Structure formats: structure tokens, C-alpha cells
């Protein structure tokens, strides 16, 4: 279980029950079962034009973007890093 922030407020049992009831009453909110995941397809199959538009490609790098540098530091400065 993830570590919660110190100021995290968890819902009370009553609030949690109200949330569950609201989810159950919503006809558009359905639980995704194994059958749903079996029918699911990748976005690249369903909406290839959308995926292609938002896929970012850098292309081939033309040259070194950064230059390697050696840096000498005093021991007291290196101790703080």
C-alpha cells in the first residue's frame, strides 16, 4: 500500500458507503471484468489517426547534443555534493 501524505483525509465509513452507492446507481459506471479486458484492443488499432497525431518521434540524432566535461573539485566541496 502506498504511503499516504501526512494531511491525507480518508473518507469515513459512511462517506465510503455513499460513494459506493453513487457508483452503483450510475448506469455509465460499470466494473471492468475479465471479459471486458479480453475484448479490449490497443488504441493504435482503434484510433490509429489519433495515436499517430499525438505520437512524438525525435528522429535520428544528428550529432552529440552534449559535450563531455571533466571537472575537478576541492575535497570539501565534493563532500557536500
Show the domain range for 48.
Answer: 11-57
Task: Please give the span between the terminal C-alpha atoms of the chain, in angstroms, as a whole number.
Answer: 33
Residue 51 lies in a domain: yes
In a domain, 65, yes or no: no
The answer to whether the CB of 50 falls within 8 A of the CB of 43 is: yes
How many domains does one find in the chain? 1
Q: Is residue 5 part of a domain?
A: no
Q: Please report the beta strands in the chain, taking only residues with DSSP state E, as ranges in sequence order.
A: none
CB 44 within 8 A of CB 51: yes
- pLDDT, one tens digit per residue, over 9-43 is 889 999 999 999 998 899 888 888 899 999 999 99
Asked if residue 29 is part of any domain, the answer here is yes
Grid cell of 46 as nine digits? 482503434
Domain presence at residue 30: yes
Query: How much is the pLDDT for 65?
Result: 76
Are 20 and 12 within 8 A, CB to CB?
no
pTM beyond 0.85: the answer is no
5: pLDDT confidence band, cut at 50, 70 and 90? confident
Amino acid at each position: 500500500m502506498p504511503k499516504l501524505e501526512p494531511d491525507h483525509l480518508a473518507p469515513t465509513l459512511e462517506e465510503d458507503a455513499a460513494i459506493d452507492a453513487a457508483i452503483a446507481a450510475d448506469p455509465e459506471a460499470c466494473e471492468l471484468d475479465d471479459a471486458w479486458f479480453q475484448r479490449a484492443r490497443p488504441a493504435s488499432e482503434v484510433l490509429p489517426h489519433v495515436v499517430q497525431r499525438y505520437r512524438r518521434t525525435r528522429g535520428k540524432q544528428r550529432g552529440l547534443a552534449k559535450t563531455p566535461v571533466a571537472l575537478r573539485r576541492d575535497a570539501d566541496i565534493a563532500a557536500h555534493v
